[in-house]
Chain A
Amino acid sequence: MAASKASRIGEEIWKTRIDKVNAELVTLTYGTIVAQLCKDFEDDYPEVNRQLDKMGYNIGLRLIEDYLAKSNTMKRCSNFRETADMISRVGFKIFLNITPQVTNWTADNNSFSLVFDENPFADFVELPDDGRAQNELWYSNILCGVLRGALEMVQMQVEAHFISDVLRGNDTTEMRVTLIRYIDDELPPEDD
């Protein structure tokens, strides 16, 4: 499916089939979760990243169904490039109203970057200035988990992690997504 068509679908669904919610409510809710995790794990940021990823994973497992139901595209993507376009132009569009750029493909088409020009989770956020958060905390790490969970449900095992974040003072916010393998259909257990 062409990228422009994906954009159209995303736009269409966003306009007609999505219940909207106040953006600040989302921002503050997510912020509270991250802040609370930091508190609960006593500023063990790598652990907070892991927890966020895990929460995202559990969201992704469900969110994919909503995505499939709303997008009505009951066909599999024919390749990983198409998957990337659908993630950005339909998935992110309908759930967060953003379309991160899909870029920096590797030659084997198995790995790409999502560059976030805007990130509704990160409005108002300044990382704690304890000298570690800037280097250790990936504030929006929940998104990695969401992608991992959602793609696993449609039989793609991927690895996703952030490699830069404007909150850390980087120029861009960039997530790296790598396809590890397509998961085979599970077979019914052999009857004895």
Chain B
Amino acid sequence: MVVYSFYIFDRHTECVYVKSWMPPQVPGTPAPVLSTGSDNAKLIFGTVFSLRNMVRKLGGDDDAFISYRTGQYKLHFYETPANLRFVMITDTGSASMRNVLHQIYINLWVEYVVKNPLAPVEHKGGAGVNNELFELGLDQFIRGLM
């Protein structure tokens, strides 16, 4: 399993965290070009937001949008009741990452970012998430999966 990139969006729809784990280019296979530029973040948010709304409309308020798959990648989505949205893009073969995203939320986000008393509550431009423990923990956790 390969994780390509990871995004967090706050309740103000702002992208507060981006990280990518680009695999080394294997000669001969065209790696999916999934850059993590800010335009992409916006695009991804627009997509998951629409999909989530559509899912709720069709499946009822309790239904949740979990993932979608293309020929190149799979996108996983997880939203907390406080409207924090976690998005992870992996290779197409990976299983559901819902639990992984939940773990990232409770074990990394809450523990290191929310509970850091000096970090702001809202992270305009991702300022407050510039957090070494979170960074390290996330990297370790993701690499452990791969």
Contacts and interface: CB of A to CB of B under 8 A. Distances in A.
Given a CB threshold of 8 Å, the question of whether A touches B is answered with yes
Nearest to A70: B106
B82 interface: yes
A65 B42 contact: no
B109 interface: yes
Interface residues of B, number: 22
B4 interface: no
A66 B81 CA distance: 12
B13 A187 contact: yes
Given A62-B114, A76-B81, A154-B82, A69 B105 contact: yes
A108 interface: no
Interface in A32-82: 58, 61-62, 64-66, 68-70, 72, 74-76
Interface in A168-188: 185-188
**Which size bracket describes the interface of A in this complex?**
20 to 34
A155 interface: yes
Nearest to B119: A62
Contact residues of B: prevailing secondary structure: loop
A65 B114 contact: yes
A155 B80 CA distance: 12
B93 interface: no
B106 A69 contact: yes
B83 A62 contact: no
Nearest to A58: B121
A75 B64 CA distance: 10
B12 interface: yes
B49 A68 contact: no
Interface string B32-73: 000000000010011001000000000001100000000000
Given A61-B121, A69-B106, A187-B13, A154 B42 contact: no
Nearest to B109: A65
A129 interface: no
Interface of A: 58, 61-62, 64-66, 68-70, 72, 74-76, 153-155, 185-189, 191
Interface of B: 11-13, 42, 45-46, 49, 61-62, 80-84, 102, 105-106, 109-110, 114-115, 121
23 contacts: A62-B114, A62-B115, A62-B121, A64-B82, A65-B80, A65-B84, A65-B114, A66-B110, A66-B114, A66-B115, A68-B80, A68-B81, A70-B106, A74-B81, A75-B62, A76-B81, A153-B11, A153-B82, A186-B12, A187-B13, A187-B49, A188-B49, A191-B42
